[in-house]
Amino acid sequence: MSAAQVTKGTSPVQQLTVVELAQSPAGEQTGKLLADLGAHVVKVEPPGGVASRRTGPFVQGQEDPDHSLEFWAYNSSKTSRVVDAASAEERAVFASVLAGADVVILEEPEWLGALGFDLDSLQAERPDLVIVTITPFGLTGPWKDYRTSDLVALAAGGMLNSCGYDDHSIPPIRPGGNQGFQLGASFAWCALLLALIERHRTGRGQLVDVSIHEANAVSGELANPYWFYPRALVKRQTCRHAQPEPTQPAVFECADGAYVYFALILSEQKAWNSLLAWMSDLGMAADLEDPAYQDVAYRQQAFGHVQELIEVFFLIQDAETVYHEGQRRGLPIGRLNAFEDLVHDEHLDQRGFFLQMESSEGTTHPYPGLPYRFTAFETTPGAPPRLDEHAARPDGSRD
């Protein structure tokens, strides 16, 4: 049993049947966002399974299609149905599944073609169908046939230009976790919901052509406005905002070897006094208690000295203490949590963020919960499906 359970109210997508033809984190995450809210998402796979099933890491090193954590990350709550495009009989089964679908999520139009359909005629035959394509650069334009990867998407879209180290002999560094693809997924999810609202109002479906490249190109925060307005280019800096001009480091190492993020904005008097009181309480304020430092201009002039004292102040405490004590004093400080820290975070724990997800083999693992909570309805995501787990019914429907 891998479908999400609606545990309160009615989910707005629980009546929907979705056909997903995806194998990258962009399309798969889009399908997961629907499936985790109770939509019936039929993941159609080729014999042997989609590429993500063959990508590691694997559960306890078991390299087979049912133990890929790459697959688990993006495919919870779905139904898996293998369709061999070479078989006329199986293409007919696919056609019957498609006939009952409200939504199609598609990464490669050629894949749909191999299964006997093309986008133009499908739209003509099924004007009620919402078709979301999520492709590297979009279905049109001079770069439409270019391919991508997460690194390449971040590079082309401008995100990578902002990320890396102060030392520019080191190339820009890719932020981890497939975020280039995730940006595509976030916009595909919003566009899909817009299309569902339109369909509810008019009865008409439509084609939604999402470009991963464009999703990255509009998500650089300050970088584009800095070019659109003062025509300045931002330059990467270690773990803090890329800016036209260099700023002071904001990542500090602590006594336990972990790091905290803290950007002191010298012009903020309240933050300055909070920090000063904290340093004084530990006998570490040194000459910063001199009233001259109450003047912003004086602080700015002595910034190097201030920065050195803060470095030492954090280096003698562990990161957990700095994080919570700093926050208690009203300072926006964050500990750079490693993954193993997250399951021990008391806040996430008390909010019940991590689910205990039962895999299709009966073992239980912590798994990230939904990114939003609604008072009107709740769902509990289900396990990612084994390959062809739902083959018993020819139409791919669940038990």
Chain positions 206 to 225 lying near another protein, rule: CB under 8 A, are: 206-211, 213-215, 217-225
Look up residue 383 and give its DSSP letter. Answer: P
Select the residue interacting with another protein from 91, 320, 353, 391 (CB under 8 A): 353
Q: Which residues pair with 211 in a beta bridge?
A: 135
| Cβ-based nearer residue to another protein, 83 or 210 | 210
Quick check: 204 binds another protein (CB under 8 A)? yes
Per-residue burial over 4-18, b = 16 or more CB atoms within 10 Å of its CB, e = otherwise? bebeeeebbbbebbb
Quick check: 265 binds another protein (CB under 8 A)? yes
Quick check: 270 binds another protein (CB under 8 A)? no
Quick check: 65 binds another protein (CB under 8 A)? no
Q: How many residues does the chain have?
A: 399
Look up residue 68 and give its DSSP letter. Answer: B
Quick check: 183 binds another protein (CB under 8 A)? yes
Pairing status of strand 259-261 against strand 251-253 = antiparallel
Quick check: 302 binds another protein (CB under 8 A)? no
Q: Which stretch binds another protein (CB under 8 A): 11-19, 99-107, 279-287, 389-397?
A: 11-19
Backbone phi and psi for residue 334, each to the nearest 5 degrees, phi listed first: -130, 135
Give the whole-angstrom CA distance, residue 325 versus residue 301.
28
Residues 375-394 that bind another protein (CB under 8 A): 375-377
Please identify which residue in the block is written with the tokens 């190492």. 253
Give the whole-angstrom CA distance, residue 349 versus residue 351.
5
Look up residue 71 and give its DSSP letter. Answer: H
Quick check: 340 binds another protein (CB under 8 A)? yes
Select the residue interacting with another protein from 48, 56, 100, 394 (CB under 8 A): 56
Give the whole-angstrom CA distance, residue 96 versus residue 99.
5
Question: Residue 61: CA atoms inside 13 Å, Cβ hemisphere, count?
Answer: 0
Select the residue interacting with another protein from 89, 245, 283, 304 (CB under 8 A): 245
Q: How far is the CB of 11 from another protein (least distance, A)?
A: 8
Select the residue interacting with another protein from 151, 277, 292, 392 (CB under 8 A): 151
CB 23 within 8 A of CB 50: yes
Select the residue interacting with another protein from 27, 31, 172, 382 (CB under 8 A): 172
Q: Which stretch binds another protein (CB under 8 A): 251-259, 279-287, 308-316, 387-395?
A: 251-259
C-alpha gyration radius of the chain: 25
| Cβ-based nearer residue to another protein, 89 or 340 | 340
Q: Which stretch binds another protein (CB under 8 A): 277-285, 306-314, 346-354, 389-397?
A: 346-354
Select the residue interacting with another protein from 99, 143, 269, 281 (CB under 8 A): 143
